[in-house]
Amino acid sequence: MTARATPVTTPGTRVTFSDVRGWMDGYLRIHRRPPATQRHVQLRAHVAVLTRELIAQEDDPVALEALRDLFQEPKSGLKPARGARQGSAYELAVTAVHDRLVALRRSVSRPPEDARTLLATPPAPRSSWAEGVAPPADLPQGADLLI
């Protein structure tokens, strides 16, 4: 996991973080405060400072999946009202988390060879006769190529 060099502070709070796990810890600290309008304003501000760059630096898929689950949790208080989601900080963060998870999965599942190496490798022979098993004696000449 790559940490940011400079910590980010959520406006209107004393919550400071430098990576996704720190952002989630800050979210929990704000969310545990007594219910009030100020808490909801602080939560929206906390989502607004979660940048695409911060998410793109995260190399821990567990932290990213936990963040995705937090955004999908109905009681988290993060999801804007219907009609207000398009272009919101919430939507941008959810999209960035999804994109980063996909990129991490691709980098793990991608074989180390590149396509040129795979194309340069000759294909294995399809005939079982090439493995050292002699064809039957009554097989006509060249018939083993059809198998």
DSSP assignment string, 22-43: HHHHHHHHHHTSPSSHHHHHHH
Note the pTM of the prediction, 2 decimals: 0.64
Which DSSP helix (H) or strand (E) runs through 16?
strand 16-17
The answer to whether 15 and 30 have CB atoms below 8 angstroms apart is: yes
Total tally of structural domains belonging to the chain? 1
| Range of the structural domain that residue 96 is part of | 8-112
The answer to whether 64 and 101 have CB atoms below 8 angstroms apart is: yes
Residues of the chain with pLDDT under 70: 1-5, 77, 80-81, 84-85, 108-147
CA distances from 101 to 19, 95, 113 (A): 15, 10, 22
145 domain-assigned: no
Per-residue confidence (pLDDT) for residue 93, from 0 to 100: 86
The answer to whether 9 and 22 have CB atoms below 8 angstroms apart is: no
Which DSSP helix (H) or strand (E) runs through 92?
helix 89-109
91 domain-assigned: yes
Q: DSSP class of residue 12?
A: T
124 domain-assigned: no
Per-residue confidence (pLDDT) for residue 3, from 0 to 100: 47
CA of residue 8 relative to chain centroid, distance:
22
